[in-house]
Chain A
Amino acid sequence: MKRILMTGNDGIGKGAVDAGCDCYFGYPITPQNELTAYMSLHMPMNDRVFIQAESEIAAVNMVYGASAAGKRTMTSSSSPGLSLKLEGISYMAGSELPAVIVNVQRGGPGLGNIAPSQADYFQAVKGGGHGDYNSIVLAPNSVQEMYDLTVLAFDLADKYRMPVMVLSDGRIGQMMEPMTVKENYKPTLIDKPWALNGCKGRKPNKVWSLKLGDGELEEHNIKLQAKYKEIKNQEVLFDEYMIDDCDTLLVAYGTSARIARGAIDIARKKGQKVGLLRPITLWPFPKDKIEELSTKVNKIITIEMSAGQMLEDVQLAVKGQCPVEFVGRMGGAIPTEQSIIEKI
């Protein structure tokens, strides 16, 4: 056990290095620049690959190459850059290549601003790029989780051969907190017999997503959907806070969940029974848990730094069994504890 003080962005970098990330490809964009800078120092220091690419598109396609070569690889960006990376993410989903993609979200749409935001939820959890696909989406709410979930992201990516996204925001990226890091951690690496590393002693491997044969692409999609179904059954993660006796349930992730916890602590002192369900995986979404809780509480309040995106998934999970209300701010603004308490 070793405690260190770090920013969230550095925490992701440290997590990637400890998880055995072999190749990192980045491109500058605020508010994730600390991460690219961290990797530019620590990857070469550990005899790993670092390239500052000519664009977000080039970076994600370098990730495609390194992943096809069987290596653990990552890229990071912030919202406008993520839009560009969607090309590569869709191709990796189609070619079944593992990779870790980090989005330290900022306000949008367009160039927006550089303040923290959760407005890329739809883009992250609904596929985002073209075609029928999903990425596993992990939502840290602390520097500790920036580290832990990045390590987990590499394992999940390899396990399911697909892109895994760490969906954070500028606030968690920039803030400093103490965290516990793994010491002498050896990641468990799995065999990748599909990788492109020269066909010595075997038939040539191909990494591709073009399926032109009659019915071939539908068959491929059916296989992908079966994988997604397994993930929905196996990999849902969430955190609970004071939900055992609550009659009002807050649902929030990331930064919003921290504010929600603050609001709960104030409300509890006033005798109000409020709890928090914090999704850690945004895809797969903890819909069964939310459905179960919706039969036990009087109402649910979803809190987001967006116009209400996760709100739709909460409403789908609740199936009208209790009222679902919303507290949200947009354009890089952050909801206050007071605004949540007023809604309770």
Chain B
Amino acid sequence: MTKTLYKRPEALTDARTHYCPGCGHGIAHKLIAEVIDELGIREKTVAIAPVGCAVLAYNYWNFDCSEAAHGRASAVATGIKRALPEKFVFAYQGDGDLAAIGTAETIHTANRGENICIIFVNNTVYGMTGGQMAPTTMIGQKTATSPKGRDYHTMGPPIKVCELLNTLEKPYYIERVSLDSPASIRKTKKAIKTAFEAQLAGKGYSFVEILSPCPTYQHTTPIGAMDFVKGPMQEVFPVKLFRKDGGKINE
């Protein structure tokens, strides 16, 4: 007698991946699809794909998806959710999209407490355009546009988005998670589910930052990228629950 232990979520298509070997986007996409299946919301979901590597997310997700101009995913999500408050709306964004060109939209959407979810994939680099310095690139990290490493004095330190948003009053749930191990991936799924359930309960703005490997532009192997995410990245971006149930978590 055979028993099905795992199958592809209905919310995920069987499209062949375009992501590089060792990339975290595939894991994050799958976790989202699993949560959507578990919550039974595939047919009421509208997702917003960013500009960046994940722009093609709509090829992998088996539900309604919109593109957004670079950095504008939060604004597009706001438009959709306000137009259709009964639908489930989330935006999926990378670090350049969300924390550089889309900073204004990110902060103001959070400050209005829009009843949407933002999945923020932080891998410290622009991927699609060829590994340039991102707002989350770490001091000393070499990229296509910081060939000698990010310099604190002329380029400033990396932006910690969860910490920034945690200064606002209205966000309901903010957590930083990681994809560095099977245990971390399970915690990431739990965070995504917490965020999605919050919106379904009408609680307001939820933000999940996912620290993610990018072997190609972190200039290492897939295993090396996992080590990078687990080690140096988490020294700068600590994995942490910042806010739950609308209240800040005590230090």
Q: Please give the residue numbers on chain A whose beta carbons come within 8 Å of chain B beta carbons, in ascending order.
A: 22-23, 25, 49, 51, 53-55, 57-59, 61-71, 73, 87-88, 91, 95, 196-201, 204-210
Q: Which residues of A contact B78 (CB under 8 A)?
A: 51, 62, 65
Q: Contact: A62 with B66, CB < 8 Å?
A: no
Q: Contact: A61 with B75, CB < 8 Å?
A: yes
Q: Contact: A61 with B42, CB < 8 Å?
A: no
Q: Which residues of B contact A200 (CB under 8 A)?
A: 43-44
Q: Which residues of B contact A51 (CB under 8 A)?
A: 78, 82, 112
Q: Contact: B62 with A53, CB < 8 Å?
A: no
What count of chain B residues pass the 8 Å CB interface test?
37
A66 in contact with B46 given A61-B105, A208-B67 (CB within 8 Å): no
Q: Which residues of A contact B79 (CB under 8 A)?
A: 23, 25, 61-69, 73
Q: Contact: B63 with A65, CB < 8 Å?
A: no
Q: Which residues of B contact A23 (CB under 8 A)?
A: 79, 82-83
Main secondary structure of the interface of A (DSSP, over half): mixed
Q: Please give the residue numbers on chain B whose beta carbons come within 8 Å of chain A beta carbons, in ascending order.
A: 42-46, 48-49, 55-56, 58, 61-69, 72, 75-84, 87-88, 104-105, 107-108, 112
A65 in contact with B77 given A196-B46, A205-B64 (CB within 8 Å): yes
Which one of B43, B48, B61, B76 lies within 8 Å of A198 (CB-CB)? B43
Q: Contact: B46 with A69, CB < 8 Å?
A: yes
Q: Contact: A61 with B80, CB < 8 Å?
A: no
Question: Which of B55, B63, B79, B107 has the most C-beta atoms of chain A within 10 angstroms of its own C-beta?
Answer: B79
Q: Contact: A206 with B55, CB < 8 Å?
A: no
Q: Which residues of A contact B83 (CB under 8 A)?
A: 22-23, 49, 65-66, 69-71, 73
The CA-CA distance from A198 to B62 in the complex, in Å, is: 11
Q: Which residues of A contact B64 (CB under 8 A)?
A: 196-199, 204-206
Q: Which residues of B contact A67 (CB under 8 A)?
A: 79
Q: Which residues of B contact A64 (CB under 8 A)?
A: 66, 68-69, 72, 75-76, 79
Q: Contact: A206 with B66, CB < 8 Å?
A: yes
Q: Contact: A196 with B80, CB < 8 Å?
A: yes
14 pairs of residues in contact across A and B, judged by CB atoms under 8 Å: A23-B82, A53-B75, A53-B108, A54-B105, A57-B104, A64-B68, A65-B83, A66-B79, A68-B66, A73-B83, A196-B46, A197-B64, A204-B62, A210-B56
